[in-house]
Amino acid sequence: MLKHWIEIAKNLLDVLDDETIAAKTGLSIELVKELRKEKDS
């Protein structure tokens, strides 16, 4: 199930800030920031 939320978070990176993504997916802010770093590199 975690994989599902990570995929949703990746799709939201272009439209929402990290804090909102973390709040709405239940993922940690650290994980969301790491996903953003991976996307931007």
**pLDDT tens string 1-41:** 999 999 999 999 999 999 999 999 999 999 999 999 999 99
pTM of the model: 0.91
A 10 A CB-CB count for 18 gives 19
Q: What tokens appear for 40 in the block?
A: 């931007």
Contact present, 25 and 19 (Cβ < 8 Å): no
DSSP 13: T
How many C-beta neighbours within 10 Å does residue 16 have? 16
